[in-house]
Amino acid sequence: MKSLILLPAALLAACNPQSGAQAQERATSASAGKPFTVTTIADFDAPWAMTFLPDGRMLVTEKAGTLLLVSADGKTKTPIATMPVMAEGQGGLMDVVLHPKFAQNHLVYFSYSEARADGLKGVVLARGTFVEGAVPELGKIETLFRANSYVEGNGHFSGRIAFAPDGHLFFTNGERQKFTPAQDPKVTLGKVLRLNDDGTPAAGNPLAAKGFDPTIWSYGHRNLLGIAFDAKGNLWEIEMGPKGGDEVNLVQPGRNYGWPNASNGSNYDGSDIPDHKPGDGFEPPKVWWNPSISPADLIVYSGKAFPQWQGDIFIPALSGKALIRVDVNGTNATKGDQWDMAARIREVEQGPDGAIWLLEDGGESQGRLLKLTPAR
């Protein structure tokens, strides 16, 4: 297997080339009729994920393999690591998340796809140490976990990362467009995994005693592209369904979420999949969409900028070209607002001041970083 290599950091990238007038024009257009003002902050090359450092700077991943340190105003972008990823199809450098004790240990966790010498591909969880200095870098990179197993194809890697309130790390493995691995107890594909922060299986995972891979927390998932904990410790997850059937799930230990045996969508060839129904043995989604919105991420909002939305879920949509709000009431959820963003939206994050930040998907959507603040 490939080992992860840290290449020398490049020179500073150029400042955001957009003029203030251009940014304002786009912001005004995107903000029209919405309860927030949209401001363009920066532009990237096919970005996938972002996270905020304690001082307001950001780490942003680009699919081709670059991890960028971005100033709080978006004007300075410094490459701090280049990863040897497999950047084809849905693969590349993906999620980036700080360790809960980042202020003490400076650990940054990230995921990416890789190809082995035999051509089979899989998703990897890794971490490095953020080193401040004249030329910031991500050092001491180590691989923590590789999906079990690697298969052909370039789809459904998933690779989202979230830390639980108790410090355990949750990691998603998509079923790689292979369907049946999601129900296979011996592989991690199509699963939510619960790990220690060093990538080893966490003690007490609910299915290990039944012969499942010891990392598995829940199974029967398809392409899991967002996970987040709410203030009460509930784990929420968003996944792409087939032709329709995109889902928001409340992830509970040991539960089977049905894929590919149950879905509120249909196969792409038009063949039917049995819908979720009471008594089928599968955990149904809390919210679902048909036709598809192609959800790409999920946060549970807790900020002060939009107090009316505290505790609600926000989801960026790719084919839906929207930002979507889901009302959450305890462990129940219902559809809320859906705002047209006129672009494929890849990522949603909450900023330190409670603003909502979005990353466009790139390509036709330009890959811009957008900041949403309350409309005045």
pLDDT tens digits, one per residue of 108-117: 999 999 999 9
Average pLDDT over residues 126-141: 96
Mean pLDDT of 188-194: 98
pLDDT of residue 365: 80
Asked if 204 and 189 count as a contact pair (C-beta separation under 8 A), the reply is no
| pLDDT, greater one: 134 or 180 | 180
| Arithmetic mean of pLDDT, 338-359 | 98
CA 59 to CA 122: how far, in whole Å?
23
Stated pTM of the model: 0.92
Nearest CA among 227, 237, 282, 231 for reference residue 259: 282
- Which of these ranges, 16-25, 90-99, 109-118, has the smallest mean pLDDT? 16-25
With a pLDDT cut of 90, the percent of the chain lying above it is 89
Domain 20-374, CATH = 2.120.10.30
Average pLDDT of span 274-294: 97
**pLDDT bracket for residue 29 (50, 70, 90):** low
Asked if pLDDT for residue 238 goes beyond 60, the answer is yes
Task: Give the number of other Cβ atoms within 10 Å of residue 27's Cβ.
Answer: 18
Cα of first residue to Cα of last residue in the chain, in angstroms, is 54
List residues with catalytic annotation: 156
Is residue 11 over pLDDT 60?
no
In this predicted model, which residue has the larger pLDDT, 367 or 14? 367
Domain coordinates in residue numbering, the chain: 20-374
Confidence band of 41 (pLDDT split at 50, 70, 90): very high
What's the pLDDT score for residue 31? 78
pLDDT of 35 above 80: yes
- pLDDT given for residue 309 in this prediction: 98
